[in-house]
Each structure stands twice: as C-alpha cells, then as structure tokens.
Amino acid sequence: MTDILDELQWRGLIAQHTDIDALRAALTDGDVTFYCGFDPTAPSLHHGHLVAVKVMRHLQLAGHHPLALVGGATGLIGDPRAKGERSLNTKDVVAGWAVSLQEQLENLLDFSGDNPARIVNNLDWTQAMSAIDFLRDLGKHFRMGTMLSKDIVARRLASDEGISYTEFSYQVLQANDYLELYRRYGCTLEVGGNDQWGNLVGGMDLIHKVEGASVHVMTNPLITKADGTKFGKSEGGAIWLNPEMLSPYAFYQFWLQVDDADVVRFLKVFT
C-alpha cells in the first residue's frame, strides 16, 4: 500500500475524520505537519496512548512531520471524564510528569532523519495568557450551545456531580493549542483518540474563524475486545509503558493472554 490513509484504514486506526478526499490530497501532495497531544495526568503513558503514537509513527514513516505535544498547561486542568471531576495535581507534580512523558515519547518516535519529531509543551504559550486575553482573544469565538452539546459535557451536566467551569474550559485551551501550532509550525492535521473528536473539531473551527484556513482532524478508535467490552487493564491496573509501574514480565503476560479472536486486529493496531 502506498497511500498512508489506506494503510491506517487497513490497520483499523481511523475512526472519524474531516473531508477524507481533501485530507488524502494533502497527505499525497506534500509533507504535512501534524500533532497529537498527551496530558501529564499520570507519571506514564499507557496502552491507550500507544494507539495514537502508532498513528503518529505511521504518518512519520510516510514522510510527514510529527509534533508530540506534552500538555504542561492542559495537564493542570485535565479534560472532562465521563464520571466525576479530576483531582487537581500540584504544578510541581504535573511538571515532573510532563518530563516523564517527554522521555517516553522520545523513545517511541524518531527524532532524527529528514522528518524528525519535535516535542512541544503548551505551557509555553498558555502560562503567559491573562484571563482577559483568554476571554477576549479565544472565548469570543466559542458559542455556548456548541460547547454544551459536546458528549462528555452533556453527560456531566446531566449527572449529579455536574461539571466545573475549570473542566468545561478545557476544550477552549485545546483548540488554542491547534491554533498556536498552526501559526508556529504550519500544523494542518491533529490526530487523537475518538473520545477527543469534539475538542479536535473545536480547534479546526477556531483556525477557520481566526485565520480563515482549512485544516484537518482525524481520530483513532478506542480499542475494545472482540466481545465488545473495554480493552485493557492487567490485574495490577492500567497497562503502563513505564517498566517501574508495570514490569516487563507483566506487560508481556498481558499481551500473551489476549483472546485469540483479538490477536490479528491488535497486531495491526499495536505494531
């Protein structure tokens, strides 16, 4: 296969996307700079992040330029979960976790050659933003109806615990990341997990409103098992990529014990 989208589709790594013909043309016509974000809400990446990393690696092998964004700013807030508010970690803890994630990403992507990966941190452009800047320069481009209709937000609003303004504002910060990377690096594609679709589209819309440019977004599916149940925890918890949090033996055993019906699909996704 010579078309990178065909490759990703064959591997089951595409869930949703914007105009597929325009995206295919952009990836065929020249080098595309793209990004994926990873928030330091824990000291390690896990197997779910690995799916997005594989999408990045395939795009990189096809000659496109990856930006791996470590969310030093968004990690201080955390994107809304389906149930319950996140516990806010201290700035020092988040900064330390950001370093750990960066070190992991440096081992998973290629930082040499003709199209080396680059690490970026959204704290670099977010920490200097005042509340007035946030409201005037970003907030005016977002409509409450659209923000409230996001799936996770709607579910949290309907729940007993509701949602704080802190987590509600996360989608604006992530959209601004895409805008900043468009301006700084000419980034025209954002990839991420399918649960991030609303946030990705928010960034695309912001760029269109502010810069008048058309950019792309694409998500990878959240991996489930053949029986439809959620994929992924060992007896000790999450499938961490840090050997100090999950031993290489336990990591190996987790994959060895995968149901036979899932093996071929997981080989396509994770290799």
Looking at the fold, whether 24 and 11 belong to one and the same domain comes out as yes
Looking at the fold, whether 160 and 203 belong to one and the same domain comes out as yes
Inform me whether the pLDDT recorded for 6 exceeds 70: yes
Mean pLDDT on 38-43? 95
Q: Report how far residue 54's alpha carbon sits from residue 58's, in angstroms, rounded to the nearest whole number.
A: 6
Looking at the fold, whether 13 and 147 belong to one and the same domain comes out as yes
Give the mean pLDDT of the chain. Answer: 93
Q: Report how far residue 179's alpha carbon sits from residue 116's, in angstroms, rounded to the nearest whole number.
A: 21
The whole-number pLDDT of residue 86 equals 86
Inform me whether the pLDDT recorded for 63 exceeds 80: yes
Q: What angle do CA 150, 154, 158 make, to 5 degrees?
A: 175
Q: Structure pTM?
A: 0.94
Looking at the fold, whether 31 and 97 belong to one and the same domain comes out as yes
CATH (domain of 268) = 1.10.240.10
Looking at the fold, whether 129 and 246 belong to one and the same domain comes out as no
Task: Tell me the percentage of the chain whose pLDDT exceeds 70.
Answer: 98
The structural domain count of the chain equals: 2
Inform me whether the pLDDT recorded for 1 exceeds 70: no
Last residue of some domain: 222, 244, 262?
Answer: 222
Inform me whether the pLDDT recorded for 161 exceeds 90: no
Looking at the fold, whether 205 and 267 belong to one and the same domain comes out as no
Looking at the fold, whether 185 and 269 belong to one and the same domain comes out as no
Looking at the fold, whether 165 and 134 belong to one and the same domain comes out as yes
Please give the backbone phi and psi of residue 240, each rounded to the nearest 5 degrees, phi first.
Answer: -70, 150
Looking at the fold, whether 138 and 65 belong to one and the same domain comes out as yes
Q: Report how far residue 150's alpha carbon sits from residue 131's, in angstroms, rounded to the nearest whole number.
A: 23
Looking at the fold, whether 197 and 231 belong to one and the same domain comes out as no
The whole-number pLDDT of residue 236 equals 66
Last residue of some domain: 182, 201, 222?
Answer: 222
pLDDT in tens, 74-122: 999 988 888 888 889 999 999 999 999 999 999 999 999 889 999 999 9
Looking at the fold, whether 198 and 119 belong to one and the same domain comes out as yes
Looking at the fold, whether 143 and 211 belong to one and the same domain comes out as yes
Question: What's the order of all strands across the beta sheet hosting 65-70?
Answer: 118-121, 65-70, 33-38, 189-193, 216-220
CATH (domain of 173) = 3.40.50.620
The whole-number pLDDT of residue 265 equals 94
Indicate the pLDDT class of residue 150, thresholds 50, 70 and 90: confident
The whole-number pLDDT of residue 121 equals 98
Task: Tell me the percentage of the chain whose pLDDT exceeds 90.
Answer: 82
Domain that holds residue 109: 4-222
